[in-house]
Amino acid sequence: MKTDFQGIIFDLDGTLVDSERVWHMAETRVIESRGYKYTLEDRALVLGLRIDEAMVAVRDHYGMKDDIPTLVDELNYAMVDLVAEHVVAQPGAHALIDYVVRRDIPHAIASASPYIVIDAIVEHMGWLPHFPVRCSADDEARGKPAPDVYLTAARKLGVTPNRCLAIEDTPAGAQAAVSAGMTCYVVPDHVYSKPHMFDGITPHVFSGLPEILRALQEWL
């Protein structure tokens, strides 16, 4: 495995924090308020996508008449409303971030979420000092699985993409990182994504962030 990483770029939702279930709660609030039933199978349509692209998929799936900006705003504010009570760190996230910070490894967040949600989560977790570089796919022409947000994060870190390690939890996110030319380690959510879903994208599938930390401690 590659050991000469000069930068580490983290996905946020589902990777550093257990928030996919919270997004599910927010999506359910928005969708079911309109009289539709939102299932785990339906959620597969939006997993890892940028919010506006996710809402296009939702609107088309249910045949909604709502405009996309309205759906996006409702979902974002529903999510922010749930952060403090429901979002928690993934097991091993604090230790992994502390290790990266102590080793002074350039690092960033590259998320499909909008800044209003990224900042709410990072502040809630006490990570604002650790992540001065936070990148949102909202700034890009394309969201994940396109590589745009990862390329922006690498540029802001001053590290060439092929020297970056990306850490992800969804196939769309992993595809974005690999398309950017990065090595991608994944920890599948096991509710919303499964290990086999990364076949043909990346061979680096881990059981959890503590396993990734052990690998970095050995190799970096």
Domain of residue 80, residue span: 20-86
**Which 3 state secondary structure label does DSSP give 90?**
coil
- First-to-last C-alpha distance (Å) of the chain: 12
Contact 87, 22 (CB under 8 A): yes
The percent of residues in the chain predicted with pLDDT above 70, rounded, is 99
pLDDT reported for residue 31: 96
CA distance 118 to 104: 22
Q: Is the pLDDT of residue 45 over 90?
A: no
Whether residue 185 is found in the same domain as residue 145: yes
pLDDT reported for residue 3: 58
Whether residue 33 is found in the same domain as residue 81: yes
pLDDT in tens, 162-184: 999 999 999 999 999 999 999 99
- Average pLDDT estimate for 49-61: 92
In a domain, 133, yes or no: yes
What order do you get walking across the sheet with 134-136 strand by strand? Answer: 134-136, 107-111, 7-10, 164-168, 183-186
Provide the residue type at 171 as one letter: P
User: What CATH number is associated with residue 193?
Assistant: 3.40.50.1000
Whether residue 38 is found in the same domain as residue 104: no
pLDDT tier, 191 (very low <50, low <70, confident <90, very high otherwise):
confident
What Å distances lie between residue 191 and 24, 25, 131, 188, CA to CA?
A: 11, 14, 27, 8
CA distance 187 to 6: 21
Contact 150, 117 (CB under 8 A): no
Whether residue 66 is found in the same domain as residue 167: no
In a domain, 2, yes or no: no
* Lowest-pLDDT choice from 31-45, 104-118, 196-210: 31-45
pLDDT reported for residue 1: 46
pLDDT reported for residue 172: 93
Q: Is the pLDDT of residue 2 over 60?
A: no
Whether residue 213 is found in the same domain as residue 137: yes
Q: Is the pLDDT of residue 59 over 90?
A: yes
Whether residue 38 is found in the same domain as residue 142: no
